[in-house]
Amino acid sequence: MYSIKEFLEERFNVKATLKTDYLKFTAKEAGEEGNNLAVALADPDEAYSDLTVDVVEGEDDKTIIINLATDENENIISTANEVKEAVNEDEEANELIEVEYVGENEGNEVVNSMEKTYLEGGKSISVLLQNVPELPQKEQFVIQFQNNASERETSFTVRTQREFRVIYFDEQAPNVFERMDKLNRLFLYGRLIIPIRNSLRYIRVATFSFGEPFKTEQDENIEACIGVLTTEIREARDYKQYEKIMEVYSRFN
């Protein structure tokens, strides 16, 4: 269940972003917390300034201040490539955001100054295990284990099939349907595999189906939809281990 929970969080949490003329800044961590990150491209208004990066922590936010380099005439000379490298080389800033070029530019353009601007668009979903909350919230998944069936597939492997109920809550039926349909497309044709936590093995999705959205009894503004996810996993059978024969001697009479 934890593997499915992590899969949903990875696929549906959205990273906050900020786009300028030549650069795009993206929060390293997905979710709403990325909306509390801000970037400033500061014009020092003095000659011969160096390109530096500072991270300033506020009460509820963090600001990456990129002090741009200037020439003898106080003109900004920092290029998009230089700004990107400066952020990557700053350990604290690099932990918070990643930088990439916008469009087809190759980073040679001189960037413009920009006042403190917040990243936006970061979204977080909630994924709960087994128990449906008394008051479901919008953009919330609940994963419930339903049943397990294992069988010997070959002399060496065992196939385990597990069935999970996937419930999604959100405001308005179209939002619920859109999210469940996106999940269905991810599972289309049963080709998707989900990594198992702390393992090199995978869970294979066999089938996924869901019904029509319906209003919840707890909150008339929250609607829900129930889906059924069937997964498969193959494991090697346990066999008794014997001590290896280290040496063999032959004797002829």
Which pLDDT value is given to residue 189?
62
Does residue 245 come out as left (phi exceeding 0), alpha (psi in the -120 to 50 range) or beta? beta
Cα of first residue to Cα of last residue in the chain, in angstroms, is 64
Q: Where are the domains of the chain?
A: 17-118, 126-236
pLDDT digit string, tens, across residues 206-248: 889 999 999 998 888 899 999 999 998 887 766 666 677 777 7
Q: Which residue has the tokens 């919330």?
A: 140
Residue type at 138? K
CA 180 to chain centre: 18
The fold of 126-236 is STM4215-like (3.30.2000)
Which pLDDT value is given to residue 253?
64
Which pLDDT value is given to residue 243?
77
Which pLDDT value is given to residue 245?
73
Q: pTM for this structure?
A: 0.71
Could you say which residues of the chain have pLDDT below 50? Answer: none
Which pLDDT value is given to residue 54?
96
